[in-house]
Structure 1
Amino acid sequence: MRPDRLSFPELSGPRAEVAQALAAVSALPDATERLGVSPGLAAAVERNRHLAEAVATPAERFYTGVLFDALDLASLDPAALRRARRRIVVLSGLYGAVRLGDALAPYRLAMGVNLDGVGPLAGYWRAHLGAALDPLVGRGLVVDCRSSDYLAAWRPDVAARWVQVKVPGATHMAKHTRGLVARLLCQEPADPRTPAELAELLAPHVDVTLQTPDAGARAGTPSVLLVRPPAG
């Protein structure tokens, strides 16, 4: 593991603080309970104690689950994979934010955890992620596929170019559909710069409805792209 080689080096200090707190909690007898995981994941929690010596794994292979299954990076053509590595940022309870090519020590820590010695992780990272991610946005569009715990960790400072992808229905299909949206945007060479352009780009592939903030909306309110799960 080489923390100095991760993207967003300005997060090095916070990452080290979280890693130290995580190692201490993971050594406790009730570590799985404190970290909100099942006892069957005790071996994964034990690995949290040895992050500095861990064999690192590229983020694009380390992160798994319904959303990443739908993104299916392994099946992307070379051009789409290059766009994925350039366009996608993954928020992390341990690392704050990483890119897909970053090599990470395997860990178990969700953003929704209240970590002893650090506090609620979403609040902790909210104090640091703006400095790392806001400049990254530039003139681009933020297409936000995060779940609620991770949404609380960073609010882009560009509400007019911030689009939250929301999916009506069950959590499983919501994650799957957000993964499909991310995949479509990696396959597409076009780079939409407005919420309307994004909706137009995706409309041939998925059922989308764009909701923009009305005149009375609170400042900083993003647009919402409602995406209905594809049939079957």
Structure 2
Amino acid sequence: MIVLLPPSETKRHGGDGPALDLDSLSSPALSDARRDLVDDLVKLAADPPACRTALGLSKSQDAEIERNAALCTSPTLPAIGRYTGVLYDALDVETLRGAAATRAQHRLAVVSALFGLIRADDRIPAYRLSAGSKLPGRPTLAAFWKPTLEPALAEIADQELVVDLRSGSYAALGKVPGAVTVDVVAEHSDGRRSTVSHFNKAHKGRLARALAGSRAEPDDAAAVAAVARRAGMRVERRDSHLTVVVPA
């Protein structure tokens, strides 16, 4: 089983690893696309006004531009330790121990706007590029990534069950055939249901933690739902789609 996560806008600064080595990352079929985007971001960082426009940044966020300028020289961290924010706080992978930590390293993967599909232990620098960014002279990132990312995702889906926890903009970078998908809804006291927005990430993070560390080896949506229920989550299933139901 692979649990596919979105990245986060916020990322830990610094790192304890060597500079970015694109050839060392998993899914080597994506190397050329990664190299093109890294080169674009480094060049774009030399023009702060254009960079702010492309990445949707304000002047107060120029530190993000400096990160991109240093993409090829700054230190790296494992991808699962680079991303921060609500989902990753709930996942709290650093507190997993022993066999659960080992399983998490194998099962967790991220789809990044810059690197495409990366595994938990792929070492990456801090950067700024979102799925909705529009780089000068390029199509949308969804159009850029689909031709190479979808085959890479399909190859994984041929071998293992994929639980896709990505948000819409990152799911658009490449579809996963046969994936288990998940949404989160809040149930009110009168039975009404509404979409969970901000805390959607927290609940998906908790689900990711349950799946990452579980001794079970789910091979379909029903088995995924069973793991979630054992972790105390209320889950409904319709074919390969799961709905996590939380109190409003």
Structure 2 equivalent of residue 171 of structure 1: 197
2:48–2:65 contact (8 Å) kept in structure 1: no
Structure 2 equivalent of residue 29 of structure 1: 48
Question: Aligned-pair RMSD on alpha carbons?
Answer: 1.6
Highest RCO, 1 vs 2 (Cα 8 Å, sep ≥ 6): 2
Structure 2 portions without partners, runs of 5+: 1-19, 186-194
**1:63-107 per-position Cα deviation (integer Å, ceiling 9, x unaligned):** 111111100011111211111110111011111111111110211
Instruction: Choose which of 198, 201, 207 in structure 1 pairs with 2:224.
Output: 198
**Number of aligned residues:** 218
2:21 is equivalent to residue 2 of structure 1: yes
Structure 2 equivalent of residue 207 of structure 1: 234
Task: Specify which structure has the higher proportion of helix.
Answer: 1
| TM-score (norm. length: structure 2) | 0.82
Give the distance between the partners of 2:90 and 2:181, measured in 1 at CA.
18
Give the distance between the partners of 1:137 and 1:112, measured in 2 at CA.
25
Give the distance between the partners of 1:179 and 1:144, measured in 2 at CA.
12
Within 5 Å, give how 1:87-98 maps onto structure 2.
87-98=107-118
Shift of 1:152: 0.4
Give the distance between the partners of 1:229 and 1:37, measured in 2 at CA.
34
Give secondary structure in 2 for the equivalent of 1:199.
Answer: helix
Q: Which amino acid aligns with 2:242?
A: L
Give the distance between the partners of 1:12 and 1:88, measured in 2 at CA.
20
Within 5 Å, give how 1:1-232 maps onto structure 2.
1-30=20-49, 31-157=51-177, 159=178, 162-168=179-185, 169-204=195-230, 205-212=232-239, 223-229=240-246
Structure 1 portions without partners, runs of 5+: 213-222
Q: Which amino acid aligns with 1:167?
A: V
| TM-score (norm. length: structure 1) | 0.88
Percentage of pairs with the same residue: 37
**1:173-215 per-position Cα deviation (integer Å, ceiling 9, x unaligned):** 1000111000000121111111122222222320111122xxx
Shift of 1:150: 0.5
Give the distance between the partners of 2:127 and 2:113, measured in 1 at CA.
10
Give the distance between the partners of 1:80 and 1:96, measured in 2 at CA.
26
2:153–2:175 contact (8 Å) kept in structure 1: no
Give the distance between the partners of 2:26 and 2:161, measured in 1 at CA.
20
Pick closer, same or farther for the CA change 1:154–1:40 going to 2, 3 Å: same
Q: Which amino acid aligns with 1:128?
A: T
Q: Which amino acid aligns with 1:86?
A: H
Give secondary structure in 1 for the equivalent of 2:118.
Answer: strand
